[in-house]
Structure 1
């Protein structure tokens, strides 16, 4: 039962990456001669990191975790699909606005399973290697990293699709995926609570196998560590608490307790600290990479051949204006990026003073032109929004360098230079505050909330709904980092009600549909129930 249809795993695995992120170390077809040394094991492990980075480079984590909230709108000429945040029209089979059911590319999970396949192989092969070929502690460390990465990818799958196939065997032969009668081995979807338990098992191995990273070390924040595993434990246990409560399972509080203890350990022992927001260098420190808040992030650096051209895709293309390389201000992509309309701004920074253009420091730190009152996308032909300097766009990933080998007529030929955050310290602290609220430790939660508010230039908390305040601070801090929509699902709290009505929520419509390619190739995979009859495929 731990095998999966060949088209679901082997074909994506064998196809490999086709861009410059393709790592040589992913080619593991010569198993008999490859797994001989510690260096072999490390190269193979690096391949898992590279595959995961390649999976996340296109910005799907941002579109699923942020654009779905309704806080961002697409630009006049580009950006994310508005199907991510507008209610679907399912009135007839011919309608084109079918919400997520019109986004088959984001409904495809095969690339996630490509990473899983490689992680499975790395785990098996390293476990089988003799202990004496490794330096002291290295075998355990490598296995801890591999288990962490597999848990992380399955956690991504869990939050996106819920009920999804689970496979832990290393696929090394066609006999594992083809029956004796030459029919493919098939496997259906594993229930989300069972998949969640598998994630927690891998996390526990990672926590026990890894040590804390050292601040300032070369691996700080960009390789798995005990702190990264504890952050993942906090998130995964909070998600399991949500699922266990939803399904009335026995003792859901145990997962909440575990989340709190994991995050407390991270806070006490991880060596992390909050970055200050009081100077202009804060943005670069946070997102250039390996800041004091970096628990785990995906390295993006053109100097290390781990970057991507922003004009070819990725989160920078979706979010950032640029300076055109021919000096033409009209090519700054102002009409082609996601932006925040005025109607959404009070939901993101409710304490910002538009008349004085001050209040919450994060508004102007993380965004350009936050003071803009535009509710319509900028366009040169718009009747209301014609000033390109008044597009409110997110600056978090707007670090880039020019591609020296660009063609003469490539005006946005930049390499991305901002790391992709997976977990940062602010996220962990506010998740801990959420855990404190839910376990009755409100004093501890308020202390964290006030620390976050103080850094943002705000007065101490004085409201009457502490959980909502914690979730508000998560919105204000983590917008654009792939977390917010899952916070809303976990707490059934949607500031924009049009993105999730109660009927959809009760039918688990917060999970994504499955692509037609998967449904056709594996008859044991059924469509996510809410999406039956609601997709364009």
Structure 2
């Protein structure tokens, strides 16, 4: 079969975006389908300036709500115990209620947009070495390719967590995951890879690009620090705890990053808190109002779709005065007209221009704490010291002892609404919902609809792609 992965047919679409951004200084143009031998392809990779425009186009593809700007991340929060869904989208309600169908158009969009971003990265990786431009230096080429490989690895880690079971259940590394499309060549027939194959690919990519990226100098692009931090996240998912602690420790000890003194760092790109944040602005924002800003703000500023769950509110209330709640919440009407509590991490519900916090240094402290605790080590600090460092910033008293439940609770309260909770529960073989929450009986580890289906629209074109159980 030829052209069976539908996103391969769209992978050159990012080139039209790159050209548009260079000629019209806009990143809002439609991502059109272009053939591999399109004159636009030849134009974009005809010189270094345009090739670097294609790299910028890759970041623009990642700005889609379904990729790094909130829809995928909040879907994980809805599936877990953190966030309620009060909106009118039936496709989001399916995700929240574990009644997802393979024809769910929102999940189809997530698959499509993430593979579109992968495709844009593949185009950069494959074509930058071929650019015939003596002014396009080898250092520029190496940097561009490394940034594209980082983005591809990041997207693969994200989608492999949603479209297949995690390492900790079923067949572990042999669980079916997502197709590994790692070439821009058309006519590829690609089956689903195993989770082990996807994880191995991600690890090899990150290890390969860390030397190429050099010392970090930015927080809104791929850097060696971001690659190490993503590798630490991967190792935590894989239960390679000593390696997770070591890699997180390397990032913490990089002088380019440091814990912010308070919680005003969201949307402050210069804050040392950020390892990699996706830059948005009013002219180049989250693309549909269904991302972080649009969904998490109350009416009329936003859609009012994603308030705190009562269980998450109770987690904060257990220790009154937690600044991660008291300084980062707002009240207003949800989509049903009820007064609810919402996060204020993404306050721009009008322009949807808030930056997306993809990786920040706080996560590395939490990863080092958990990695050390579970490995029985003290790389860089004791688990207790790391947790107390974060609690001090949150205005809470120091603890005298720490255990895994405490570490996971600190992760929950630090990273709420940022898309981490679902995998934290899954990789620890915990139900996604707490007793008494809706549909808690459907949320146990390994249950069919804790993961997404392979979209039916994809399987219509590629029937050899095996469907997940229960769909």
Instruction: Tell me which interval the TM-score lies in, with the shorter structure as reference length.
Output: 0.7 to 0.9
Q: Residues 52 and 78 of structure 1: is their aligned pair in 2 closer, same or farther, counting only changes over 3 Å? A: closer
CA distance in 2, matches of 1:11, 1:224: 24
Q: Who is 2:179 aligned against?
A: 165
CA distance in 2, matches of 1:25, 1:504: 41
Do 1:213 and 1:226's aligned partners in 2 also have CA atoms closer than 8 Å?
Answer: yes
**Superposition misfits of 4+ residues, deviation over 6 angstroms:** 15-19, 23-28, 76-80
CA distance in 2, matches of 1:102, 1:4: 21
CA distance in 2, matches of 1:112, 1:377: 29
Do 1:25 and 1:46's aligned partners in 2 also have CA atoms closer than 8 Å?
Answer: no
Unaligned runs of 5+ in 2: 21-25, 165-176
Aligned positions of 1:70-469 closer than 5 A:
70-75=81-86, 81-86=92-97, 88=98, 98-99=99-100, 103-108=104-109, 109-129=111-131, 133-135=135-137, 137-162=139-164, 163-171=177-185, 176-177=186-187, 186-214=189-217, 220-241=218-239, 255-277=240-262, 282-283=263-264, 285-302=265-282, 305-308=283-286, 312-321=289-298, 331=300, 336-352=304-320, 359-369=321-331, 388=339, 391-399=340-348, 414-441=350-377, 444-463=382-401, 466-469=403-406
Paired residue secondary structure (1:265)? helix
Unaligned runs of 5+ in 1: 89-97, 178-184, 215-219, 242-254, 323-330, 353-358, 401-413, 533-537
Q: Residues 264 and 501 of structure 1: is their aligned pair in 2 closer, same or farther, counting only changes over 3 Å? A: farther
Q: Who is 1:9 aligned against?
A: 8
What is the deviation of 1:136?
Answer: 6.0
- The more displaced of 494-503 and 191-200 is 494-503
Q: Who is 1:244 aligned against?
A: none
What is the deviation of 1:462?
Answer: 3.3
Q: Who is 1:535 aligned against?
A: none
Aligned positions of 1:16-27 closer than 5 A:
21-22=28-29
Do 2:76 and 2:421's aligned partners in 1 also have CA atoms closer than 8 Å?
Answer: yes
CA distance in 1, matches of 2:310, 2:366: 26
Deviation per CA, 1:11-35: give whole Å up to 9, x if none.
4654977995338999883344443
CA distance in 2, matches of 1:104, 1:33: 34
CA distance in 2, matches of 1:25, 1:46: 17
Question: What TM-score, normalized to structure 2?
Answer: 0.83
- The more displaced of 451-460 and 261-270 is 261-270
Question: What TM-score, normalized to structure 1?
Answer: 0.73
Deviation per CA, 1:152-180: give whole Å up to 9, x if none.
11111211113111121222xxxx41xxx
What is the deviation of 1:508?
Answer: 6.4
CA distance in 2, matches of 1:79, 1:471: 31
CA distance in 1, matches of 2:466, 2:392: 49
- RMSD between aligned residues: 3.3
Q: Residues 320 and 129 of structure 1: is their aligned pair in 2 closer, same or farther, counting only changes over 3 Å? A: same
CA distance in 2, matches of 1:261, 1:25: 43
Larger Rg: 1
Do 2:85 and 2:306's aligned partners in 1 also have CA atoms closer than 8 Å?
Answer: yes
CA distance in 2, matches of 1:58, 1:451: 29
